[in-house]
Amino acid sequence: MAVPLDEAVRRLVRDGDTVAPEGFAHLLPMAAGHEAIGQGLRDLTLVRMTPDRTPAPTDTEPPVLRALTSVA
């Protein structure tokens, strides 16, 4: 059964969780991260299973504090 992304994040992700949102290309993980931030979740660790560069810092204090990626 398919569940809308906003509902999945609301049901499954809590402050302080470590999550690995994966999907086709980069769009689903990005949308999941944006949804978590939009719902006000804090102190998350996002894990990406594929090698990637470290995200650039933003001008504002992000609610997502850590991002981990695998190494090639």
30-67 pLDDT tens trace: 788 889 989 999 888 877 766 655 555 555 554 455 66
pLDDT at position 59 is: 52
pTM: 0.65
Structure tokens at 48: 């990406």
pLDDT of 18 strictly over 80: yes
Dmax over Cα atoms in the chain, in whole Å?
39
Amino acid at 38: G
